[in-house]
């Protein structure tokens, strides 16, 4: 095969192919490389590929180049991934396989690189990572993920001599909502309740759905219960507002809250907050029963 034929073969490949020096100066690019940037191959040769990198992704490209510069005869190939912006302004993930070319003394003189678009693969990986750490219905953190983050917050709180507040929330009579209105309505209640909770709390707070109709809110850098009470008031007020498309349904919730004590693990604190929530629910149920009993006694008195 002649050099012209080989060059034509390389130009016809869909992969991005280039040769460059260790300082990033391009010596050759194939047609696919030129097409990606919407430029002619001739106009790219002599440029540094760092000049083609968008500002926000330049650090990624520079890290890739630093790894390439460490190539040697015993370790002549490296694979890097970074983002680039194509001629249409789209952000694309590229995977580059870079192979070093060395002189007789073993010095790196140039690099031959083959690049492939891996945007779809990266998106699938990011989605899988997101789903592993978030509740699929509400988009809030899941139990496993919030426990991991709680441990970091607790470590920071101990270092800074701060406390962490944990609110454990259970939507009242949620089973009745599911039974009477159907599971699709129940899902909508959970989604809207989650959105309202996010709007009620601080950006630094962690919100998680840990199962069914139970939620946890983790509030870092607090000193006393007094700092949690306004948050609790906002939460109760926003849940009480009628829910759109659900015939004016409004919610109440049983909430237990505790403060970290400096030694408990995240699991311990979650269990304590859970018990505090059940005490709150028992008080609420007891008050409801008393009100019903008083109403019944009043009705009997009016009939006698």
Residue 213 annotated to the active site: yes
Of the candidates 135, 170, 213, 274, the residue annotated as catalytic is 213
What DSSP string runs through 232-250? HHHHHHHHHSPPTTTTT--
Using DSSP, state whether 101 is helix, strand or coil. strand
Cα-Cα end-to-end distance for the chain:
111
Which residue's entry shows tokens 């010095």? Answer: 107
- For residues 176 and 182, what is the distance between their CA atoms, to the nearest angstrom? 9
- Picking from 15, 5, 3, 46, the residue whose alpha carbon sits closest to that of residue 28 is 46
Catalytic residue set: 213
């Amino acid at each position: 095969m002649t050099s012209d034929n080989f060059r034509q073969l390389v130009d016809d490949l869909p992969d991005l192919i280039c040769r460059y020096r260790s300082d990033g100066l391009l010596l050759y690019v194939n047609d696919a490389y030129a097409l990606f940037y919407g430029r002619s191959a001739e106009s790219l040769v002599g440029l540094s590929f760092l000049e083609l990198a968008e500002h926000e992704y330049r650090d990624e490209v520079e890290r890739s180049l630093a790894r390439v510069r460490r190539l040697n005869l015993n370790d002549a190939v490296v694979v890097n991934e970074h983002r680039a912006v194509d001629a249409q302004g789209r952000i694309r993930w590229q995977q580059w396989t870079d192979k070093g070319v060395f002189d007789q003394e073993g010095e790196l003189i140039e690099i031959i690189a083959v690049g492939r678009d891996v945007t779809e693969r990266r998106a699938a990986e990011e989605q899988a990572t997101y789903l592993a750490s978030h509740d699929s219905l509400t988009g809030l953190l899941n139990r496993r993920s919030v426990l991991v983050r709680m441990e970091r917050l607790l470590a920071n709180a101990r270092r800074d001599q701060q406390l962490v507040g944990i609110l454990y929330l259970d939507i009242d009579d949620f089973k009745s909502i599911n039974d009477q209105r159907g599971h699709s309505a129940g899902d909508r209640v959970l989604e809207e309740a989650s959105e309202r909770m996010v709007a009620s709390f601080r950006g630094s707070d962690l919100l998680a759905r840990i199962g069914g109709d139970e939620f946890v809110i983790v509030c870092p850098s607090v000193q006393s219960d007094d700092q949690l009470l306004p948050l609790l008031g906002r939460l109760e007020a926003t849940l009480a507002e009628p829910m759109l498309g659900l015939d004016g349904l409004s919610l109440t919730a049983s909430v237990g809250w505790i403060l970290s004590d400096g030694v408990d693990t995240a699991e311990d604190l979650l269990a304590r907050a859970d018990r505090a929530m059940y005490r709150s629910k028992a008080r609420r149920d007891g008050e409801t029963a008393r009100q019903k009993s008083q109403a019944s006694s009043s009705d009997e008195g009016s009939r006698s």
